[in-house]
Amino acid sequence: MTTQTAPRRSRRAMPAIIVSETDHRIVTALANSAYERIPDVAETLLDEMDRARVVPVARRPADVVGLGSEIDYVSDAGEARTVRLVMPAEADISSGRISVLTPVGAALIGLSPGQSFNWTGPSGHPHRLTVSAVRPPAA
C-alpha cells in the first residue's frame, strides 16, 4: 500500500476558501475516516475544512471548487490540466477525475479562479498551482 504525502503548504500563502455545508460535512467525514490510512492528506483536508468559510449550498459561487466541479489549472511548470474533483471511489486520473483524498484534490477544494497554492514536493522543490477556471458539477 502506498502512502500519499500531502503538499506541505506555507501558511502565509494559503488563499481564502469557500465550501458548501454539504461538501464540508462529506469531506470532514471522509477525512476523519481516512486518517489512519493517509494521515497527511486527511490532516490537510481537516485543516482546510477548519479554515473554510462554510456557506449554504445555494450560496456557494458557481466558480468555487467543490465536489463534482471541473477545474482548469496551470502548474508552475506551465502544464495546463483539466480535472474533475470527485470522491475516492469515482477517481480515475487517466479520465481526469481526481480524488479529494489526494494532495492536489485536498488543496483544490474551495479555491476559485486566480487563486494559487504553493507546496513543497517530496523532492523538496517548491511548486505552485493556479486555478484558471471552475465549472460547477453537471446537473
Tens-binned pLDDT, residue by residue, of the chain (139 aa): 444 444 444 444 578 899 999 999 999 999 999 999 999 889 989 999 999 999 999 999 999 999 999 999 998 989 999 999 999 999 999 999 999 998 889 889 999 999 998 876 668 788 889 999 999 987 6
| Inside any domain, residue 5 | no
| Inside any domain, residue 68 | yes
Q: 0.75 cut: is pTM over it?
A: yes
| Inside any domain, residue 8 | no
Q: Give the β-pairing of 53-55 and 97-99.
A: unpaired
Q: How many domains does the chain contain in total? A: 1
CA distances for 6 relative to 22, 79, 100, 132, angstroms: 23, 20, 12, 22
| Inside any domain, residue 3 | no
| Inside any domain, residue 44 | yes
| Inside any domain, residue 124 | yes
Task: Determine the Cα–Cα distance for residues 76 and 130; give it in Å rounded to an integer.
Answer: 8
Residue 1 has a pLDDT of 41
Residue 13 has a pLDDT of 58
| Inside any domain, residue 6 | no
Task: Determine the Cα–Cα distance for residues 89 and 84; give it in Å rounded to an integer.
Answer: 13
Domain, as residue range, for 95: 15-135
Residue 45 has a pLDDT of 92
> Do residues 100 and 31 lie in contact, with contact meaning Cβ atoms separated by under 8 Å?
no
Q: In a 10 Å sphere around its CB, with 0-12 CB exposed, 13-18 middle and 19+ buried, how is residue 4 labelled?
A: middle
| Inside any domain, residue 1 | no
Can you read off the three cell numbers belonging to residue 23? Answer: 461538501
Residue 120 has a pLDDT of 67
**Which residues, in sequence order, are CB contacts of 32 under 8 Å at separation 6+?**
42, 46
Quick count: other Cβ atoms within 10 Å of Cβ 34? 18
Residue 14 has a pLDDT of 76
Q: The CATH number of the domain where 40 resides is what?
A: 3.10.50.30
